[in-house]
Structure 1
Amino acid sequence: MSHMIWKGAISFGLVHVPVQLYPATQSEKVGFNLLDKRSIDPIGYRQINKRTGKEVTRENIVRGFEYEKDKYVVLSDDEIRSANPESTQTVDILAFVEAPEISFLYLDTPYFLAPDRKGEKVYALLREALKASGKIGVANVVLHNKQHLAALIPVGPVLALNTLRWSEEVRDFNELKLPSEDPKKAGVTARELDMAKKLIDDMSDSWNPSTYHDTFRDDIMTLVDRKIRAGKTEAITDVETPRESRQSAEILDLSDLLKRSLGRGKNKAGGRSQAVQDDDDPEEPATPRRRKTATAKRANGANGTRGAGARSAATRKDAPARKRSAA
């Protein structure tokens, strides 16, 4: 169980919901310690006085607000908390808004809120009212001596509090050079748009977070386990030349790339795709070279098994012709 990091109340109107705040996430990233390669001793983190270059102990570190260049007002944690004690103990709801109105760009850090001091009933009331309305609360909250804008969101049986970025923290995308939102002005044809929508539909699936994994972390842990089993816990070993990274395709014909993608989109996502036939390019007749090209086109539009069979059949059919030619 994660540790409680804050306790207070959700406030909306005259209603107060006593709650406790818990982290909603945990880091599963690969973490590395810095070591002295000569002795494998850990290298620690030192807090240094930038003027003298000397190390400063934790008890001598305070918070300071720079009001002029190199001039500070020093504030203790108690002084910061006493400046506005109500704000530091309250999730103060400012408004309720439709959930889709808040862009993903503004989402920052999620937390769980649990009821406190026999506040289960009013907690459940707020949770169910939010579910029924389809809205989420926008609130102010002070965490770690910093005020945050936050979204109060019902997630199944729990109320989640997701801190939000302030508007000044989200950059304006108008600074970027972007194609026109008018498809025609952006050079997108109706046929290409239709194929792209079909590809999206072909790759669509329900959201299941357990389907996705941090494959980099998995590979690192596999490497660590292998070195432990081999007794190479301290030595740096030679590594094989890494596989050449896959280069981005040069887009010569967007329509052709979309057609080829349609046949393999669902295979990549979930393996349930049917072959997509290309009715726009009629098969050309006869010669072995033409026949082999047409067969390969059909194979590219099919799933893996059918494509392999088509290539195999083409090989068997062309083999006698090649033998007679050689003779």
Structure 2
Amino acid sequence: MRSIWNGTISFGLVSIPVKLFSGSEDRKLDLDMLDKHDNQRIRYKRVNEKTGKEVVWGDIVKGFKKDDSYVILENEDFEKANLKKSKTIDIEEFVNQDDVADVLFKKPYFLEPQKEGSKSYNLLRDALKKTNKLGVGTFVMRQKEHLSLIGHYKDALVLHVIRFTDEIRDPSELKLSKTKVTKKEVDMAISLIENYSEKFNLSKYKDVYNDQLMKIINDKAKGKTTKVEEVNVEPTDAKDLMAQLKASLEARKKKKAS
């Protein structure tokens, strides 16, 4: 793996030099965009809006439009905006893991200690494990400030980039129903949830979509048609809700007993 950010984690007066690595990877199939008339690849070009000519990467700069002209920004300008946060993740406080809403999480990154930071790295990791706490800090990467939580995953420190408040939309804008549910229905749903409850095991969940899509690609290459299972997408009618909950609970109990 190649590190995407080098810097320092600090908490109190302790500084830990670290390297940041992506903790996840995109498993989408690499599909090309083609012209449907002759299956030739479509290429995207960076074109000057005025001249219509293609511009090479080396001649492209970033600018902010102010009034009728642009202010051009160089790489050093982005670092100057907050030089400390470009190099340091300051843990400002620690919070309980359970206090953080899942909707905030965006992407995990693994942290690796640089040679001189091994002991302090292990110290922070072990302390977080024992307290079930997360460190809250901000830093700058790729010309953007990120809010982050630092915790542990197995034997590594993991940094979760989370969303700022103004990045979360207000769910009150959704058209949510105020239909009442009975206590009996809620109790039955709770019983169903309890019967489906297991200790979380990440390894049992597999991304099968790519495999299925690859099978379709292979079948099409051979001139074959892939058989597809029909899926019932009928919504459960309100008057059938209790009956469906009971049937689900009975089916689950039978499966667990077998």
- After TM superposition, the score normalised by the length of structure 2 is 0.89
Residue 164 of structure 2 is matched in structure 1 by 166
Residue 142 of structure 1 is matched in structure 2 by 140
> How far apart, in 2, do the equivalents of 1:102 and 1:224 lie?
41
> How far apart, in 1, do the equivalents of 2:66 and 2:234 lie?
50
Residue 91 of structure 2 is matched in structure 1 by 93
The residue type paired with residue 62 of structure 2 is R
SS at match of 2:219: helix
SS at match of 1:195: helix
CA contact (8 A) 1:263 1:273 kept: no
The alignment yields a C-alpha RMSD, in angstroms, of 2.3
Moved over 6 A (4+): none
The residue type paired with residue 110 of structure 1 is P
Residue 316 of structure 1 is matched in structure 2 by none
CA contact (8 A) 1:203 1:266 kept: no
Which structure 1 segments of 5+ residues have no match? Answer: 181-185, 275-327
Note the C-alpha offset of 1:240: 7.0
Number of residue pairs matched by the alignment: 257
After the TM superposition, which residues 43-82 of structure 1 pair with which residues of structure 2 at under 5 Å, given as runs? Answer: 43-68=42-67, 70-82=68-80
Note the C-alpha offset of 1:152: 0.6
SS at match of 1:260: helix
> How far apart, in 2, do the equivalents of 1:202 and 1:63 lie?
55
Residue 254 of structure 1 is matched in structure 2 by 241
SS at match of 1:253: helix
CA contact (8 A) 1:137 1:152 kept: yes
After the TM superposition, which residues 310-325 of structure 1 pair with which residues of structure 2 at under 5 Å, given as runs? Answer: none
Residue 155 of structure 2 is matched in structure 1 by 157
- After TM superposition, the score normalised by the length of structure 1 is 0.72
- Deviation string, structure 1 residues 81-112 (Cα, Å, up to 9, x no partner): 23432211111112111111111111111100
Larger RCO (CA under 8 A, 6+ residues apart) = 2
> How far apart, in 2, do the equivalents of 1:97 and 1:143 lie?
23
Residue 119 of structure 2 is matched in structure 1 by 121
* Larger displacement relative to structure 2 (196-205 or 42-51): 42-51
Note the C-alpha offset of 1:168: 0.4
The residue type paired with residue 197 of structure 2 is S
The residue type paired with residue 93 of structure 2 is A
Q: Which has the larger radius of gyration?
A: 1
Which structure 2 segments of 5+ residues have no match? Answer: none
CA contact (8 A) 1:107 1:162 kept: yes
CA contact (8 A) 1:202 1:273 kept: no
The residue type paired with residue 140 of structure 1 is T
> How far apart, in 2, do the equivalents of 1:176 and 1:224 lie?
38
> How far apart, in 1, do the equivalents of 2:123 and 2:231 lie?
53
Asked whether 1:205 is paired with 2:198, we answer yes
> How far apart, in 2, do the equivalents of 1:217 and 1:38 lie?
26
- Normalized per residue, the structure richer in strand is 2
Q: 1:174 to 1:160 in 2, by over 3 A?
A: same
Note the C-alpha offset of 1:191: 1.6
